[in-house]
Amino acid sequence: MSKRMTRRELLRVGVLGSMAAFLAACQPKVVEKVVEKEVTKIVKEVVKETIIVEGTPQVVEKEVTKIVKEVVAPTPAPPEEATVVVMYNTNELTEEERDQFMDKYPQYTLEFIETDLTRMYAMLAGGNQLDMFRIYGTFVPGLTLQRIPLDLTDYFATSEVLKVDDLVDANDLYVVHGRRYGMVKDWSPDVSIWLNKSLWEEAGITPPDPLTSLALEEWRALSPKLTQKEGDQVTVVGTYFTPNEHHLFWLSCCYGKANNLFTEDFSRVTLLDNPDVYESAKFWADWQKELGLVSVLNPAPATWSGEAFVSRAAATCQWGYWFGGMAESDDVPGEDILMLPGPMWGTDYANPCVTGCGAVITSVTRVPEAAWKLFEWFMGEEPAEARATSGWGVPGLKSQLSLMPQDEPWRQNNYAVVQHEIENTSLARIDFCPYITPDTFKAAWNQYEEPMLLGDLTLDEMLKLVEDEINEAIEEGMERAGLL
């Protein structure tokens, strides 16, 4: 059985270092609005006036002086030269795009750093310049508790590029207590299903209608029928469902009603004594034990489900829309690919955005206007349009949804499924506890899952151990925030 992690080790996994004391003194900046001014002027003008001369009306001109007030907007000052330091992934903000930004806005220079959250914390703690960085939306509540991101509410309110009413609902991952701290660069309904039609045909099974959601029980029944073996060796996984290898996807009850792992104030996680969550955990554990899913009991024929799919070793896998950017291969042509809505669990359908990769601007930025210009450009101008056409993610702006690729039948279906999800999901995004990170939850869960599957722990014992680890971590997080 795996060694139980100490609370200190678990917190280290959560990357919630000692930033609170440093950043508590950093009050968020807000955008400076252009204020119109009322100006009083004295003007002279010639007016015509009718007078009576010897009983006859005559029109004469006369000069009068008037005091008038008018509203004028000040002439905006030209933008000052500035260097913006951005931390992102090279494949998402390429060197070519960085040059494009500096060509379009020559007053700004970009300094680029590859994403490294440990380095991000160290840079901010050391007072080094860092203006914008890549982050998942589920991390934002915790970051705002530490006052790391800049409140961008007023920036969005005045932007002509990133208009609030043009933002898709997934962007609310970056809203905390009604204030907006960032947005998604793109997103996906995260629990969609991708299937290989030719492997289904070999199994003698007709794929479901592309806009029909099958119940998880139905997928579980299909799993052995779609699985192929040579002797005891699995050559094709029937249902390779490990969404981001992240059990938070399952246990957030994003399938079905909007239940939650946590208490309403996020002060505790409840697994064992939460009937809905317990039922979900038992369902997946039983499915793993009967070898219907990849696990320590049923090793995969590839390193991850995406690789298995593109090498024709998985009849289905479970990923968001973004997987369409890589689903096609020499072994799996486009005509074999079919995207489906997420599975049903319960009665209320939901396929939410669970993580939502995007960006924030730091509250300690020294160049807020330049950082906002980069943010605005990256999220709404040329790079955003290029991402929309790539098939790697759903745009964060409603006005760019039509740019999604629809040049082939399978891509037309992808687009139709996303529209279906936007219109029909009962839960647009997942809220997460601000006192820990999703990585903390994942580390605790993964630590005890293997012993449970191997029979060294019961499911109840596993859930109790996970609860204890997470609740200790939550308590530490609340203490750091001064709430205990």
Confidence of residue 349 (pLDDT cuts 50, 70, 90): confident
Q: Beta strand pairing status for 357-361 and 228-230? A: unpaired
Scanning the structure block, which residue is given the tokens 């998402």?
92
Domains of the chain, residue spans: 80-184+357-413
Measured between alpha carbons, how far is 51 from 45 in angstroms, rounded to an integer? 19
Q: Is residue 28 predicted with pLDDT exceeding 70?
A: no
Express each pLDDT in 432-460 by its tens digit.
889 998 888 888 988 999 999 999 999 99
pLDDT at 33 > cutoff 50: no
**pLDDT tens digits for 262-291?**
888 999 988 888 888 888 889 999 999 999
User: Percent of the chain, pLDDT > 70?
Assistant: 82
CA 346 from centroid of its chain's CA atoms: 25
Place 77 in a pLDDT band, splitting at 50, 70 and 90: low
Checking if the pLDDT of 4 tops 80, the result is no
Neighbouring-strand partners of residue 318:
193
- Mean of per-residue pLDDT scores for the chain: 86
What is the reported pLDDT for 40? Answer: 61
Q: What is the pLDDT of residue 72?
A: 58
Helices (H) and strands (E) in the chain, counts: 16, 16
% of the chain exceeding 90 in pLDDT? 65
Helical residues (DSSP H) of 50-181, grouped into ranges:
95-104, 117-125, 140-145, 153-158
Q: Tokens 């955008």 label which residue?
A: 31
Q: How far apart are CA 110 and CA 43, in angstroms?
A: 50
Q: What is the rounded CA–CA span in Å between residue 215 and residue 218?
A: 5
pLDDT confidence band for 245 (50 / 70 / 90): low
Structure tokens at 76: 């905006």
AA letter at 437: T
pLDDT tens column, 156-202: 999 999 999 999 999 999 999 999 999 999 999 988 999 999 999 99
Token digits for 370?
């330049």
The dihedrals phi and psi of 53, each to the nearest 5 degrees, come to -120, 115
- Given 3-state DSSP classes, what are the helix, strand and coil percentages for the chain, each rounded to the nearest 5? 40, 20, 40
Mean pLDDT value across residues 41-62: 70
Domain 80-184+357-413 fold is: D-Maltodextrin-Binding Protein; domain 2 (3.40.190)
Over 70: is that where the pLDDT of 81 sits?
yes
Cα–chain center distance at 231: 42
> Per-residue confidence at 222, pLDDT binned at 50, 70, 90?
very high
More confident position, 255 or 436:
436
| φ/ψ (deg, to 5) at 155 | -65, -45
pLDDT of residue 61: 74
Tokens of 25: 């003194």
Q: Are 338 and 200 in contact (CB under 8 A)?
A: no
Q: Output the pLDDT for position 202.
A: 96
d(CA 22, CA 148): 10
Residue 131 contacts residue 361 (beta carbons within 8 Å): yes
104 contacts: CB under 8 Å, gap ≥ 6: 377, 382
Cα atoms in the 13 Å half-sphere on the side-chain side of 390? 18
